[in-house]
């Protein structure tokens, strides 16, 4: 009996501990999702309120040229607003998006603090995304309905929502959200509970009359519990079962993406492709953007949008950055040293900007290849500026060496004018989503010109992404955009291919310089 108890007790304790750990882990996960959405919801509300206040206090007549200019300025400097305009007879009679009337649809509800919500605006964005409108004091903002909920989640089937507490209803939601959940928050700041097959967390805004909901299927909790149990139970079983369980556990771990990433790094499964960068004025190839690719053990290409977030979450993104720099050294050799006018653009992650260690890595790259600082451009997304102080320190160290810095994906709705004004940047990359709208007549096509004008005012050089036809290239060239990349000029390929394009550019320039003058 004692032997049986000794054999059964460890698995039973492991089961209880696995259930506790799984619940705590998923509760922490739902709380992090709810807080992420709450941050985006609060920032959206803050920008909407600030925009309306700016217009009402301006004293400008509604829809006057001055008012429309202010609307466009508010739009461009707001990360979550798609448009702002003046409301009359249930429509935006003028706005930052278009000079035409935009119907708001049926009024969904009105709040005690004077906000009117239109949750189903009958027009959509260029890419078919639904919009909602919030009106106050005669002005309304249009918001991409899914944008405040657009957070990265590591779990499938996550439900998210932003709710108005006084109305007890969701303003926006993704997935299943039971209305009965909304009354569970009470006066608490947060609450977590299990209900109707979900583990649910709600979080209250401290600044607005809203709350957020995040719910994970309980099936995920059970799966996590099983995974934890499979690690704990073998410790209490005799050596043979322990060994067998360890082998099974190892096999499962080998199937995980994190383990596959480690294997890929160890087996040299990562490689670089290089997207040619074209100088629009001359049409010559003056550089490349280094793009990391992964072909796994099965020979399948794993998309960067899949493995990069996993690497960030697992704390492995620094290893990928190191691999990128090693691959540039291998691929470029001493080409950069002999071609000072050619540069390689390197994408840095937010983690790379947490310390100046990345600067030392770039120093070693230049020492190994003989490259000059002018051969390198560092690209940073807006997420990399979450910790502005450390980002400024890294950028200052890069500039001290002569390495230039670009802000990537500007114009997607996540970047902000404040970053351009407060950080010492050299280049602005215009996102492909805006380039695609050139020549289509879509309202977003007008935004490209505004972004170009803003960059020129701030004396930033510009790189247009995703240029696919001559009309787009001509539009950008005429308006003073410096560089472009896209399939019109060449798909990502080997470094040698890009180097040959650059050599051809140099040869063409030399031939032009050697041509006899018309007078000779």
Report the 10 Å Cβ neighbour count for 275.
Answer: 20
Q: If you search the block for the tokens 């920032």, which residue do you land on? A: 43
Query: How buried is residue 250: exposed, middle or buried, by Cβ count under 10 Å (0-12/13-18/19+)?
Result: exposed
Quote the pLDDT of residue 443. Answer: 66
Rounded-to-integer distance, Cα 456 and Cα 461, Å: 7
User: Is the CB of residue 189 less than 8 Å from the CB of residue 203?
Assistant: yes
DSSP string, 193-247: EEETTEEEEEEE-SSSSEEEEEEEEHHHHHHHHHHHHHHHGGGGS-HHHHHHHHH
Domain 269-514 top-level CATH class: alpha beta
Contact 17, 191 (CB under 8 A): no
In angstroms, the CA 419 to CA 388 distance is 9
Q: If 0-12 CB within 10 Å is exposed, 13-18 middle and 19+ buried, where does residue 386 land? A: exposed
Cα 390 to Cα 434: distance, rounded to the nearest angstrom? 30
Under 8 Å between Cβ of 322 and 360? no
Cα first-last separation, the chain: 110
Helices 357-369 and 317-332: crossing angle in degrees, nearest 10, is 20
Residue 346: strand pairing partners: 378
**CA-wise closest residue to 282 among 132, 131, 507, 125:** 507
Instruction: Indicate the domain borders of the chain.
Output: 25-225, 269-514
* Per-residue pLDDT tens digits of the chain, which is 520 residues long: 544 555 566 655 555 555 666 567 778 888 999 999 999 999 999 999 999 999 999 999 999 999 999 999 999 999 889 999 999 999 999 999 877 888 999 999 999 989 999 999 988 776 677 899 999 999 999 999 888 898 888 788 899 999 998 898 999 999 999 999 998 999 999 999 999 889 999 999 999 999 999 999 887 655 655 555 555 556 545 433 443 344 334 334 334 788 899 999 999 999 999 999 999 999 999 999 999 999 998 899 999 998 998 898 888 999 999 999 999 999 998 899 999 999 999 999 888 888 889 999 999 999 999 999 999 999 987 666 656 788 889 999 999 999 999 988 775 544 456 666 677 899 999 988 889 888 887 766 677 888 898 889 889 999 999 999 999 999 999 999 999 999 999 999 999 999 999 999 888 877 776 655 443 3
The predicted model scores a pTM of: 0.53
For residue 23, the surrounding DSSP H or E stretch is helix 2-58
Nearest in space to 330 (alpha carbons), one of 390, 279, 274, 263: 274
pLDDT value at residue 331 = 95
- What are the CA-CA distances from residue 420 to residues 126, 394, 412 (Å)? 26, 16, 14
């Amino acid at each position: 009996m004692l032997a049986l108890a000794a054999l059964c007790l460890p698995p039973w304790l492991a089961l209880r501990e696995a259930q506790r750990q799984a619940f705590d882990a998923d509760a922490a996960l739902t709380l992090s999702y709810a807080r992420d959405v709450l941050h985006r919801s609060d920032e959206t509300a803050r920008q909407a309120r600030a925009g309306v206040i700016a217009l009402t206090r301006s004293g400008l007549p509604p829809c006057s040229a001055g008012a429309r200019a202010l609307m466009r300025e508010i739009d461009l400097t707001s990360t979550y607003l798609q448009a702002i305009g003046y409301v009359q007879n249930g429509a935006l009679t003028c706005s930052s998006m278009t000079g035409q009337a935009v119907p708001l649809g049926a009024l969904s509800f009105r709040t005690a603090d004077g906000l009117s919500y239109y949750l189903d605006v009958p027009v959509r964005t260029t890419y078919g995304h639904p919009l909602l409108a919030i009106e106050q004091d005669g002005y309304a903002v249009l918001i991409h309905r899914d944008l405040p909920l657009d957070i990265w989640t590591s779990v499938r089937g996550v439900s998210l929502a932003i709710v108005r507490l006084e109305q007890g209803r969701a303003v926006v939601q993704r997935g299943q959200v039971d209305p009965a959940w909304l009354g569970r928050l009470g006066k608490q700041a947060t609450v977590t509970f299990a209900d109707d097959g979900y583990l649910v967390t709600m979080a209250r805004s401290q600044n607005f009359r809203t709350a957020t909901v995040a719910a994970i299927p309980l099936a995920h909790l059970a799966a996590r519990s099983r995974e934890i149990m499979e690690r704990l139970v073998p410790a209490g079983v005799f050596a043979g079962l322990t060994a067998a369980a360890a082998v099974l556990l190892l096999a499962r771990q080998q199937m995980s993406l994190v383990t596959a990433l480690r294997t890929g790094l160890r087996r040299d499964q990562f490689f670089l492709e290089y997207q040619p960068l074209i100088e629009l004025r001359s049409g010559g190839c003056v550089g490349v953007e280094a793009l990391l690719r992964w072909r796994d053990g099965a020979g399948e290409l794993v998309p960067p949008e899949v493995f990069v977030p996993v690497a960030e979450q697992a704390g492995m993104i620094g290893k990928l950055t190191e691999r990128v720099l090693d691959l540039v050294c291998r691929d470029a050799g001493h080409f950069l040293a002999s071609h000072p006018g050619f540069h390689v653009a390197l994408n840095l992650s937010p983690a790379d900007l947490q310390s100046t260690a990345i600067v030392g890595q770039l120093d070693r790259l230049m020492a190994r290849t003989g490259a000059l600082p002018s051969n390198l451009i560092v690209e940073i997304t807006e997420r990399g500026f979450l910790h502005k102080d450390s980002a400024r320190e890294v950028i200052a160290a890069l500039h001290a060496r002569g390495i230039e810095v670009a802000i990537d994906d500007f114009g997607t709705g996540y970047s902000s004018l404040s970053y351009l004004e407060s950080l010492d940047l050299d280049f602005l990359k215009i996102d492909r989503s805006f380039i695609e709208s050139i020549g289509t007549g879509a309202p977003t096509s007008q935004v490209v010109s505004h972004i170009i004008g803003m960059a020129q005012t701030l004396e930033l050089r510009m790189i247009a992404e995703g240029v696919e036809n001559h009309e787009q290239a001509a539009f950008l060239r005429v308006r003073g955009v410096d560089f472009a990349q896209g399939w019109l000029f060449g798909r990502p390929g080997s470094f040698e291919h890009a180097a040959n394009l650059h050599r051809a550019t140099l040869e063409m320039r030399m031939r032009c310089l050697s041509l006899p003058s018309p007078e000779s």
